[in-house]
A and B are shown apart, each in its own frame.
Chain A
Amino acid sequence: MHGTPEQLIACHECDLLLERVASQPGEDVICPRCHARLYYTTNNCIERLLALSVAGLILFIPANLFPILSLQVFGQSQSEIILQSAMSLYEGGLPLVALLILLFAVVVPLFQLIALFYISFTLHYRWQGRLLRQAMHSYQHLRGWGMLEIFLLGVLISIIKLKDIADLDIGLGLYSLGALILVITLNSIFFNPHQIWHEIHQHRQQDNTDG
């Protein structure tokens, strides 16, 4: 175990010191002690993230502007967009719960999509990217705090709870939300922090030699 830091790697979950080995696409390098996935190679990582983040940003608009569900009882009808779940709780006197729903179901997913778009766009088109490192840190630290898939399960449970007492219509917003969740899930599968940090490092070095 006498090598330069470049030839060595430590497991992020158990701190085991290991020698770096080459990884082929589709191959994971696993920690022999705690079985954490150390690093791997994703083909066309940046390009896939660029395409998916554009798709996500487009889908975000209908998912948030069109009603998720509409409800009809005795001729009265009421429809709902995602933002209203937060707003009506705020008006009902539960500001903290409203804030959490706003953050987890609207702000965090949007912010992550924007960060990912910025990272992949800048790296792909070799733009200057002054905020690349900040964008990466934000995306990495926000992982797990976007909860749209849990929101979707909540919608399904609400449908089952209400179906006996009222007529429910599923809106365009719910279909867009489903597609958006698919895109966000694919994003987190293709997001390869090792590879992107490596690219950002090269990108910065190139900038330094150019300027």
Chain B
Amino acid sequence: MTDVKSEDTKKKTGWSRRDVLKATSAGAAAGATPMFFTQNAWAEEAIGNYPVKGSEVVLGFNVPQTGAYADEGADELRAYKLAVKHLNNGGGMLDTLKPSKLTGNGILGKKVTYVTGDTQTNADASRTSARRMIERDKVIMVTGGSSSGIAIAQQYLCNELGIIFMCGLTHSNDTTGKDKQRYGFRHFFNAHMTGKALSPVLSKEYGKDRRAFHLTADYSWGHTQQESMQEFTEKEGWSTAGNIMTPLKTTDFSSYLSQVLNSDADVLILNHYGANMVNSLTNAVNFGMRDMQKNGKNLEIVVPLYSRLMAKGAGSANIDGVLGTSGWNWALQDEGSQVFVKSFTDEYGFPPSQAAHTCYVQTLLYANACEMAGTFYPPEVIKALEDFKFTGAGNGETLYRGSDHQCIKDILVMQGKSPSARTSEFDYLKIVDQVDAATVDYDPAIFGGELGPYIPA
């Protein structure tokens, strides 16, 4: 009876116990088959705050809201908010960035929101703030920083926690050199590129027979900036009279300037940034160094890394004629720059700084990489960013170099404008030269360092 019943059952449903078992085994085997047999598939293990849950994705903007770089941080934050607005609603560089998969509908269909943190221009504070964003606010990406020491500290932390870090304003060679990380990316240029772009202009302007004295901020950026300036000015035939490291918190540089006065140098190179540069340059002017002659030549002052905010702090009478470099300037006429300047000015009433530019672009590039990868899964997003070539973001054709995560792009040689040459309250610097990407390119191997694995240990 039983057999007959069983036979009947099989006929009715078409399934036997054995069939079910077979099907289950086959299903299990298929499920266990590694995904790499399928094109563009990835092992969807949890990394950092991936997978992103819910209908929103959170970005972490960690900028100096207090401390010496607070003004730059405030401008970075403005740029980030604008980037979020454009990512969610379209507009800005979404119209000029090419190639781009950004639609103005968030990232991968999720609405972009953000949290902010204060780095206080302090490595410990920046790490604490980044960790809070990652662990409490579940950000998928952290970006910001306005100092190389801070950027490097955050980059290490983010790499460890599997969170992509898109560097803000950081110019040290170390960020994408000896301290480079798989999860860290820098759009801003670096000290090496500054040296390479600026030195030929210096020798053309001031001659090949010059003797330079360096005053250098005593931290990662200052050190690499000094090395690069020394290397490239010496290649132009200059010699180096001396270098003094100055503590970062110095406000009165007279003791260092006395040493410069007492040397036989006829060029003073100020490897200082932000308030440091404002103070050292102003002090040097007070010491009469802009009107002095040494070795039968006019004593010249050079500021390798320039920003509009610094120029404003130093005052245009003091920066008149002084040469340096910038990553970007609001006066650039290309389509990407113009569209960014217009939307920023419409939103806030004044043009953006170079810090704002790099932060805005970094946010868009990250979002675009997610769209290209079709996922927030960090290793795939990283691969989408690596060796990504793009235009329409304000620096000509740009390569996000895969081997060190450094953007290779055009940079600007700038010169301070005299008070009478200024056309507006934001007009402090004029573009002397746009040095193309090929000229400032270099072999990433010279700085050593390892990117490390795609999946954090």
The finding on whether chains A and B are genuine partners in a shared complex, rather than unrelated, reads: no
Task: Give chain A's interface residues, CB within 8 Å of chain B.
Answer: none
Task: Give chain B's interface residues, CB within 8 Å of chain A.
Answer: none
